[in-house]
């Protein structure tokens, strides 16, 4: 079985998640005939890339914690962190996403921020 494992001194920093995303993609295989995605490590099939990615992340990769940006609580997967944010920080997160959306609209329309 292929598992990414790091000595504690060489675990990549939280900011370097592109490393993990590349390795998750490396463990995926698409069966074009059946229209399913397969885990190359254990052979389990999934109908969506998100489900397979969550499976690989939770079952095969020893990933550093994903901290909540609002309270600092750590989670073993991005999906668990997203559920936590939705349940515990919905109002804060919604306001943050609205502000981000407004900034994006302003950037696209050429309006400067105040």
Please check the confidence at residue 84 and state whether its pLDDT lies above 90: yes
Number of Cβ within a 10 Å radius of residue 114? 4
Instruction: Give pLDDT tens digits for 15-72.
Output: 455 655 666 666 676 665 567 888 888 888 888 888 888 888 778 776 667 899 999 9
Question: What global pTM score does this model have?
Answer: 0.49
Strand, helix or coil for residue 63? coil
Quick one: 75 and 43 in the same domain?
Answer: no
* Overall domain count for the chain: 2
CB atoms within 10 A of CB 92: 13
103 and 54 housed in the same domain: no
* Pairwise CA distance, residues 84 & 16, whole Å: 22
Range of the domain at 45: 1-64
Measured CA to CA, the distance from residue 111 to residue 26 in angstroms comes to 41
* Same-domain status, 82 and 99: yes
52 and 1 part of one domain: yes
* Stretch (H or E) spanning 82: helix 78-88
* 33 & 80 share domain: no
């Amino acid at each position: 079985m292929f598992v990414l494992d790091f000595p504690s001194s060489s675990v990549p920093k939280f900011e370097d998640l592109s490393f993990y995303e590349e390795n998750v993609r490396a463990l995926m295989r698409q069966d074009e005939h059946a229209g399913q995605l397969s885990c190359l490590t254990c052979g389990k099939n999934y109908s969506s890339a998100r489900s397979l990615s969550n499976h690989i992340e939770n079952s095969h990769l020893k990933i550093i914690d994903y901290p909540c940006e609002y309270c600092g609580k750590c989670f073993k997967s991005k999906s668990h962190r997203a559920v936590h944010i939705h349940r515990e920080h919905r109002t804060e997160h919604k306001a943050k996403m609205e502000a981000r959306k407004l900034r994006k609209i302003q950037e696209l329309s050429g309006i400067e921020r105040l």
